[in-house]
Chain A
Amino acid sequence: MKDFFKGSSLKVLIIAVVVLLGLAIYTATAGGTFIAGLLGLVSAPMQSIATDVTGGVTEFFDLESYSKEELKALVERLQQERSALAQQLVDYEDKKRENEQLKQQLQIAELEPENKMCSATVIGRDPNDVFAGFSIDQGSLSGVSVGDPVITGQGLVGVVSQVYATSSVVTCLLSEDLQVAAVSIDREESGVVTSSVITASSGLLRLNYLSSETKLEEGDIITTSGAGGSYPANIIIGQVQSVEKSENDISKYAVIKPYEDLAHVKDVQVIISFPGKGEEAPTLPVGGEDHAKEDGE
């Protein structure tokens, strides 16, 4: 023990700890480092292969685990859903055609959607992350940057928080770090979507700052509002599960159930650029002002 205090080992430990704490402070303030980039470069391809193999094996066993009756019931249910959706599609096409005709009559110009997307696969989920964050196999070489929204076909799932050359870390929508300006397309009521460790553990979100007379009901669809320029407008977040009274004041909040299972996402799209990105205030689409004037008149 006496040798320990006299020897060089303790000095090495002290130097190492001081250097690591310096590195921790530096990376916490300045972002990525060469070491992080190097680790990402080494681990990303191997993680990608491991995820592919695991995905294949899991899928194989999942299919095997269905019995014949269960598969029959599943096919029947999907056929019923398909019929219902086909009917909805006919209605949608009618509405779309009608909408186009009205736009032509009123001479309303429309901004073409200019979202630039990049497909990615989830290659890692860290067990230390309380809020189900994950890594994807696309990085700065594919044009991904910090703050880019990440979506699936079912809606918003998170935001890119760290970018390396060939991989990125995504903060999940379930994280307390994220606050998303949201709106109900049915009721035209807005709020802020957040989460906490309790809601995150059950895969739910909260739409805060609703008025005490809110008309939101179970089943209402919540989308991004586009306010603030962090997210494109009209990306689906989820649907209202219940409306509750806030613990702190007279306002209410809605419990939102995301359409996507946020803790088990596999394939995602990163929105690299979109109209209005980085703008502080939401912008009216071209023709929107004219339309508003016409409404006023």
Chain B
Amino acid sequence: MRDFNRVIRYLAYTLELLVLFMLQETPGLLPPIYGVRPVLLLPAVVAIALFEEEVPAMAFGILGGLFCDFGLGCGLGFHGAVLAILCFLISLQSRSIMQVNLATALLTGLWAIGLTICAQWFFLYYFKYSLPQYAFTHHYLPKFFYTLLFLPLLYYLNRGLYQAVRAQDR
């Protein structure tokens, strides 16, 4: 029963990431602010990692990252690797250093999503295109704040999912 509930939870996470990927990719669905749209997969994998153990957290980080890579059409694996490391560390942090609540989730999202977007800028933009400072202030920074807005919603969604399936487990 315990394994069955875990499988159900993992399937729900997979479905959630797939749906969020479609939502973030659909043109005209999420209104652009300062010409940018949010990356919903980033707060989703952060929220999942807050509740799951290290290896499942890393696995969902990889899945979310592969979706990001696929959507961008860049080399498959960059976001996967970055989010694998970050989700692993977030899971470790939430299990050993701090309690999980909205405040710590926001704090975690702040550094984790910030690092991911900085890595995007550095590895995918800085060496390849012109005017990196302009791109950072006019594209990456607004995208970071816009993405962060969705963290509370996805935190409560994943907390509800985790608690519901874990309660059945008990």
Contacts and interface: CB of A to CB of B under 8 A. Distances in A.
Interface string A128-164: 1110011100000000000000000000000001100
Contacts of A33: 76
A264 B32 CA distance: 12
Interface string B134-149: 1100110001000000
Contacts of A51: 26-27
**5 pairs of A and B residues whose beta carbons are closest in the complex:** A24-B77, A28-B75, A169-B73, A23-B77, A124-B25
A16 B59 CA distance: 9
25 contacts: A13-B88, A17-B81, A21-B77, A24-B78, A24-B81, A35-B66, A35-B76, A39-B66, A40-B70, A43-B21, A43-B22, A46-B22, A47-B22, A50-B22, A51-B27, A54-B27, A122-B27, A124-B27, A126-B73, A127-B38, A128-B143, A161-B73, A197-B139, A198-B134, A264-B28
B108 to A, nearest CB: 18
Contact of B81 (A20, A54, A130): A20
Interface string B10-42: 000000001001111111111000011111000
Interface stretch (B1-9, B43-51, B124-132, B151-159): B124-132
Contacts of A201: 35, 138-139
A24 B76 contact: yes
Contact of A13 (B26, B39, B84, B130): B84
A50 B26 contact: yes
Contacts of A1: 96
| Chain A: interface size category | 35 or more
Contacts of B139: 130, 197, 201
A55 B128 CA distance: 34
Contacts of A39: 66-67, 70
Contacts of B131: 196-198
B68 to A, nearest CB: 6
B72 A126 contact: yes
Contacts of A50: 22-23, 25-26, 29
